[in-house]
Amino acid sequence: MDHSPKMPIEGKSILALDIGGGTQDLLVYTEGEPLENALQCILPSPTIMVARKIKKATRDQQAIFLNGHVMGGGASSKAIRNHLKAGLAVYAQAECALTIRDNLGHVAQMGVHITGTAPPEAVPIFLADIQEKALKGLFESFDLELPPVRLVAVQDHGFSPEESNRIFRFKHWEAFLNSNQPLETLLYREVPEYLTRMKAVQESWPEALVMDTGAAAILGALEDDQVKALPSPNCLIVNIGNEHTLAAWMVEGRFRGIFEHHTFFLNTEKLLTYLQQFMNGRLRNDQVLEDMGHGCLNTFPWDKDFPPLIVTGPRRALLAKTQALMAAPFGNMMLSGCFGLLRAYRFLNKKIKGCD
């Protein structure tokens, strides 16, 4: 397992923000200060915040106008669909409408009016994964400033107007897996053009480095002292999030396999069966797709005893009664993604400075 030192990073205070489907988890880390004293918050996710505003407009029987950026869907997209079902008008700027689906023609068919200007009767609702006003208000209320170094994790399916975004996202994972690069390299300074949600984060915060939430959580689990102490260099790390479950197969510290599904389609027995078949190389990608998951790929099938199973994520209770090790890096499981962002940032800085 990894035996690198705990979190030392040169420079100013660093804001790590892990944005999920249920919560956005925030950590401000400053080198030289006790981590226990660092600012740590578990806040409602931006999609939940937006959904609440849409639901209020639905109750008040008001039309809405969506403006801002493309962002994570989930709760907000469901609230938009319910608003339409209630017979109420939805107007949206083109970029915001892509939050619902990547194909604007399909969005228009749902009944959303694509427009650049807000009708006078519509309630404006701002869409963005970075809720700048709320975050600034939080920091200012405690006489704090937002740190200049900002690391953000979001899950980006990738822009795919004609193909299932589940398939498109997994193609991205497959290409990365075959590249044989460390997971840490998924922290982007320059985001690929097709990762439009990550690009939108940098529209809000141009200085931000951005990473996938799944990769960040896996890396964060590796920061747990119990994980570092494992005698085997091979392990299966599972992040059970509010919306998605992602398993990463690590061999000698290298990324060798991935399984991804929607959490709400899983129960304990089903997930354990999938994981066993995934490790043995007997789980087919099309099986996962047909079950409404994203896919699976194992480049290093394992026919020996099941490797150490490490679990993190807000829905980790799904495997709580198993022999799994419940990772809680630095004593806080909900900040696994934030610690993963810091680990990737530390790796990136070493590469830039030419360190081993």
Averaged pLDDT in 10-residue chunks for the chain of 356 residues: 46 90 95 87 96 98 97 95 98 96 96 94 97 95 94 94 89 92 96 96 97 96 94 93 94 93 96 96 94 94 91 94 93 95 93 45
Q: What is the pLDDT of residue 32?
A: 82
The pLDDT assigned to 305 comes to 86
288-325: b (≥16 Cβ within 10 Å) or e:
bbeeebbbbbbbeebeeeebbbbbbbbbbebbeeeebb
For residue 189, how many other CB atoms are within 10 A of its CB?
11
- 326 by Cβ neighbours in 10 Å (0-12 / 13-18 / 19+) ranks as middle
> What's the confidence (pLDDT) of residue 10?
53
Which residues have C-beta within 8 Å of that of residue 64, sequence separation ≥ 6? 54, 57, 83, 88, 89, 90, 91, 122, 123, 124, 125
Q: How far is CA 26 from the centre of its chain?
A: 13
| Contact by Cβ (8 Å): 18, 41 | no
Total count of residues recorded for the chain? 356
What confidence score (pLDDT) does residue 112 get?
97
Distance of CA 44 to the CA centre of its chain: 14
pLDDT for 162 equals 87
d(CA 72, CA 144): 27
Is residue 169 left, alpha or beta, with left meaning phi > 0 and alpha meaning psi from -120 to 50?
A: alpha
Give the chain's domains with CATH numbers. 46-127 (3.40.50)
The pLDDT value given to residue 2:
44
Closest CA to 256 of 299, 192, 207: 299
Stated pTM of the model: 0.92
Contact 151, 208 (CB under 8 A): yes
CB atoms within 10 A of CB 218: 28
In the numeric block, which tokens belong to residue 250?
Answer: 């690590």
Nearest to 309 by CA among 225, 221, 216, 217: 221
